[in-house]
């Protein structure tokens, strides 16, 4: 199979994994709603990036989390030509079912927002909206951990850990992509 066909197949699989949810899924915010809320009056460009094995390893090392998907789709928002932020969608398992988080990285490399788009686990395992605001302004450092910069959640431990891993993973992937851009 040619690289172009493999790339196209991978892109289709990623789009389908984000766009199609199981019948029991609870969709809290759609992709378009999330982008509109995060980036009002902005031009949003969708970018598809394929991370090399070296970039994946760098992202794993930076985040301390599992980073296995070479295919990365991000949405870069600009207002009047000025970078406003970059959004990523992270789909992962919480306990046995999936959650999709919308993660915005600000131009300075810190988190702008973390928002739940869909949650397949029982809603009792979902922290309150205010809990996710703790991520706002956080950087990828040793303090971005549960019981450090981010408070734990009783009754939603696995969800909190999954959100933390997603935030660290997105920040690391973002940094790796930005390093590549600066190297050009």
- For the stretch 27-74, pLDDT in tens is 888 999 999 999 999 999 999 999 999 999 999 999 999 999 999 999
Residue 128 per-residue DSSP state: P
pLDDT value of position 183? 62
pLDDT value of position 21? 40
pLDDT value of position 15? 41
For the chain, residues with pLDDT lower than 50 are 1-3, 5-23
Residues 6+ apart with CB under 8 A from 118: 21, 25, 26, 27, 28, 98, 99, 100
């Amino acid at each position: 199979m040619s690289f172009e066909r493999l790339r196209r197949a991978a892109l289709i699989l990623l789009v389908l994994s984000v766009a199609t949810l199981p019948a029991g899924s609870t969709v809290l915010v759609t992709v378009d709603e999330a982008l509109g809320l995060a980036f009002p009056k902005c031009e949003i460009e969708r970018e598809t990036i394929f991370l090399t094995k070296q970039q994946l390893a760098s992202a794993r090392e930076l985040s301390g989390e599992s980073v296995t998907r070479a295919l990365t789709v991000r949405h870069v928002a600009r207002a009047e030509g000025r970078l406003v932020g970059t959004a990523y969608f992270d789909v992962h398992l919480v306990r046995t079912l999936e959650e999709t988080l919308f993660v915005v990285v600000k131009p300075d490399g810190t988190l702008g927002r973390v928002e739940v788009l869909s949650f397949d686990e029982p809603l009792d395992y979902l922290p309150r909206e205010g809990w996710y605001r703790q991520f706002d302004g956080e950087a990828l450092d040793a303090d971005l951990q549960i019981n450090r910069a981010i408070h734990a959640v009783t009754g939603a431990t696995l969800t909190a850990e999954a959100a933390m891993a997603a935030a660290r993973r997105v920040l690391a992937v973002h940094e790796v992509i930005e390093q590549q851009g600066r190297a050009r």
